[in-house]
């Protein structure tokens, strides 16, 4: 069946609770022809309802983080880990901090608020805002690990500030029994709560020995104190701001209608521009003003999802009717909580258990996702189809989609000898063409998409292709692009090609190369590749120059294949995937320069570490010893391998190398296909330690992983 083309772009700015639930809804019920982009500063978004529990030590960091990579994969969306800084309503573009501009047909904004106090003297150096969670959690962990200091303070006497103060005190007193906390409020505290609930919280503060200072101005911060407007001071080695929640400043420059800096929306959650919607704390519900509370963001999600569908595909819009009152659950430091609704108040451990169940159920809804089932095979298929499909997951992207080494070797075995001037007999990473005294490096490579972000795919594909040139000691000069776009409208073709070519051109320019042309076509999936020409050094580095005793250096961790396979199965952690992308989007030209004296070198890609090492072993006529415990692995890769998750090409890679393996998941990763993998170099042993140190200093996670030895061309693990 002809695939349905993409015709509309929906851009979700911010990974707040509303957008998270909207993504889940689009994953459950996709809108054919829609391409979704989520923009968020990081790969996760915090569930703020569990923040006090995390600060108190009841939850780990992962317990309260919505994994946006997993959610985006489930929804068939792309996640751009970047920060929005503006919107051009006329051009329909979202402007990002990286300089990218992302085009939209319909957009929605759910970026929350900030509690930063940039104008307060000393705050930038000595304070931390309660939102966003990431910096607060990291600073709090460091404060706990440092030990010693016992005094903390919270600026802001609302419910959030009091919750944080109780949580901090509970956590600190586990190791520092005399720890104290002070809550400082410029007006009256806890004014958002009904009087009965506020009295209960004040009682709890007194019982815990916390100090509440009301009608008190803060003049500034220093390393060990909060300085007050009347000249006094409060001792504090860790000061959090839960006050001054305000809209992000860039909203004021968008041209959208606002109210006190918040985006004004109508009852359909549409802004003054009908193609832009907003929800969550950044939105002002002018038709029914309500306090900033997560319950309204959650309740708005199905309404926003329906109205986005209506804007993109037609159909009826739904009005948002926020409830007047809602259940308030306030953490009390230890595993106890207070509940209030309609004037009724209760507290105790059972309220905490109730709150904990509500919170965990919400997080499970967003994080415990399963990939959509593959359609069943027709009743009648050719012989062998069911055997070929049995137990096999969807074909991986990146180098995991390559043809196995055995099939490839068989196809190349009977090719005629190369013409004069072309040297490729050793099976090196790139072909060498002789032009008189000049020698040129020529290679080609392409990748099946493993992320919906065409710019990220283009950058990684460009760096991946240049790896073959760098591995031979060459310098990239010119590239021809080979791009297959999934079927899409002409407008989306132009948008996507612009993203691809801009990102690829930048990657090549950083290496001193340029795109000279190329070819495009439409197909089923996004595929990006490059044919690349470069200058060869006087002595190109091949596979056959290694000597006995040479040390083996690897410049990059292993495990990209298993991480990408797990991503397709919704099993990878977003933080681990983000770390992988950060590494694979980094050039290795500087590493190649440091290794220019290598006797043999290759880049580790589709055939895995041992598959590519076997190339050096066979060409050099030597054996190799590899020390498993010295090999670096990407975060999360070993755990995934231990669970039996493998890339599509893993079995073919394993079958191509005769080696005895220990029963350890790390050993499985020696056959894991690497996308934009590290350089594997054989170097003189006396230079190895200095080279590893220089590579590490340059930012590469390099390691000495073994040595070449006299003997038959075989690989041994130790």
Among all residues, which ones are annotated catalytic? 399
Strands of the sheet containing 623-626, edge to edge, are: 600-603, 679-683, 551-554, 703-709, 623-626, 715-717
* Distance of alpha carbon 319 from alpha carbon 300, whole angstroms: 10
Q: What is the DSSP letter of 683?
A: E
Q: Helix 454-471 vs helix 574-584: angle between axes, to the nearest 10 degrees?
A: 50
Distances (CA, A) of 225 to 124, 208, 503, 514: 14, 21, 47, 55
The closest alpha carbon to 540, from 593, 588, 599, belongs to: 599
| Count of all residues that appear for the chain in the document | 718
The phi and psi torsions of 302 (rounded to 5 degrees) equal -65, -30
Q: Say how many CA atoms lie within 13 Å of 673 toward its Cβ.
A: 28
- Token couple for 173: 């007193």
* Distance of alpha carbon 373 from alpha carbon 376, whole angstroms: 9
- Token couple for 619: 């060409």
Q: Say how many CA atoms lie within 13 Å of 542 toward its Cβ.
A: 15
* Distance of alpha carbon 177 from alpha carbon 4, whole angstroms: 64
Three-class SS state of 196: helix
Distances (CA, A) of 413 to 73, 410, 638: 40, 5, 35
Q: What is the DSSP letter of 606?
A: T
**For the residues of 550-595, what is the DSSP string, one character each?**
PEEEE-S-B-HHHHHHHHHTT-S-HHHHHHHHHHHTS--HHHHHHT
583 neighbors 559 (Cβ within 8 angstroms): no
The closest alpha carbon to 465, from 196, 676, 198, 224, belongs to: 676
């Amino acid at each position: 069946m002809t695939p349905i083309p993409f015709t509309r772009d929906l851009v979700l700015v911010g990974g707040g609770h509303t957008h998270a639930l909207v993504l889940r809804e689009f994953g459950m019920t996709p809108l054919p022809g829609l391409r979704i982009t989520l923009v968020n500063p990081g790969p996760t978004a915090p569930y703020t309802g569990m923040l006090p529990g995390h600060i108190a030590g009841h939850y780990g960091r992962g317990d309260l983080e919505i994994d946006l990579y997993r959610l985006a994969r489930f929804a068939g969306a792309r996640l751009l880990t970047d920060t929005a800084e503006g919107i051009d309503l006329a051009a329909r573009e979202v402007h990002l901090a990286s300089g990218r501009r992302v085009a939209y047909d319909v957009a929605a904004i759910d970026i929350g608020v900030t509690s930063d106090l940039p104008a307060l003297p000393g705050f930038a150096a000595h304070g931390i805002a309660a939102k966003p969670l990431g910096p607060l959690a990291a600073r709090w962990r460091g404060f706990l690990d440092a030990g010693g200091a016992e005094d903390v303070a919270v600026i802001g006497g609302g419910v959030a500030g009091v919750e944080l103060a109780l949580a901090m005190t509970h956590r600190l007193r586990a190791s520092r029994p005399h720890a104290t906390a002070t809550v400082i409020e410029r007006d009256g505290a806890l004014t958002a709560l009904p009087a009965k609930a506020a009295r209960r919280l004040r009682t709890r503060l007194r019982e815990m020995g916390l100090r509440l200072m009301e009608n008190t101005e803060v003049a500034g911060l220093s390393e060990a104190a909060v300085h007050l407007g009347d000249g006094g001071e409060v001792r504090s080695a860790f000061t959090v701001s839960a006050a001054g929640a305000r809209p992000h400043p860039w909203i004021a420059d968008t041209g959208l209608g606002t109210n006190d800096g918040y985006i004004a929306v109508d009852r359909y959650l549409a802004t003054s521009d009908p193609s832009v919607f907003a929800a969550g704390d950044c939105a002002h519900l002018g038709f029914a003003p309500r306090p900033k509370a997560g319950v309204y963001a959650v309740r708005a999600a199905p309404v926003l999802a329906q109205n986005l569908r209506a804007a993109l595909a037609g159909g009826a819009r739904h009005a948002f009717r926020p409830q007047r009152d809602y259940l308030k659950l306030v953490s009390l430091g230890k595993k106890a909580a207070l509940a209030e609704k309609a004037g009724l108040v209760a507290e105790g451990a059972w309220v905490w258990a109730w709150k904990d169940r509500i919170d965990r159920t919400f997080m499970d809804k967003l994080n415990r996702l399963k990939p959509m089932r593959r359609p069943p095979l027709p009743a009648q298929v050719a012989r062998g189809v069911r055997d070929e499909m049995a137990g096999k997951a969807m074909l991986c992207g990146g180098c995991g989609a390559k043809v196995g080494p055995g099939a490839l070797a068989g196809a190349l075995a009977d090719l005629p000898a190369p013409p004069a001037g072309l040297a490729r007999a050793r099976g090196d990473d790139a072909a060498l063409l002789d032009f008189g005294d000049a020698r040129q490096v020529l290679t080609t490579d392409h990748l099946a998409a493993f992320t919906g972000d065409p710019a990220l795919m283009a950058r990684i594909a460009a760096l991946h292709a240049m790896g073959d040139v760098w591995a031979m000691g060459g310098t990239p000069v010119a590239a021809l692009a080979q791009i297959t776009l999934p079927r899409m409208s002409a407008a989306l073709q132009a948008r996507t090609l612009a993203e691809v070519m801009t990102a690829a051109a930048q990657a090549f320019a950083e290496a001193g190369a340029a795109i000279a042309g190329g070819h495009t076509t439409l197909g089923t999936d996004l595929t990006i590749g490059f044919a690349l020409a470069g200058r060869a050094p006087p002595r190109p580095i091949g596979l056959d120059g290694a000597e006995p005793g040479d040390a083996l250096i690897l410049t990059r961790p292993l495990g990209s294949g298993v991480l990408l396979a797990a991503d397709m199965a919704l099993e990878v952690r977003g933080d681990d995937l983000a770390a992988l992308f950060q590494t694979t989007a980094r050039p290795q030209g500087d590493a190649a320069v440091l290794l220019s004296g290598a006797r043999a070198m290759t880049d580790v890609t589709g055939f895995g570490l041992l598959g590519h090492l076997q190339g050096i072993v066979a060409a050099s006529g030597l054996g190799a010893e590899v020390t498993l415990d010295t090999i670096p692995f990407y975060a999360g890769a070993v755990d995934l391998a231990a669970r039996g998750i493998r890339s599509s090409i893993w079995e073919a890679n394993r079958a191509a190398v005769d080696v005895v393996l220990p029963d350890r998941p790390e050993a499985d990763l020696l056959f894991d296909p690497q996308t934009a993998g590290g350089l594997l170099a054989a170097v003189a042993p006396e230079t190895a330690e200095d080279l590893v140190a220089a590579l590490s200093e340059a930012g590469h996670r390099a390691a000495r992983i073994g040595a070449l030895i006299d003997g038959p061309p075989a690989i041994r693990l130790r």
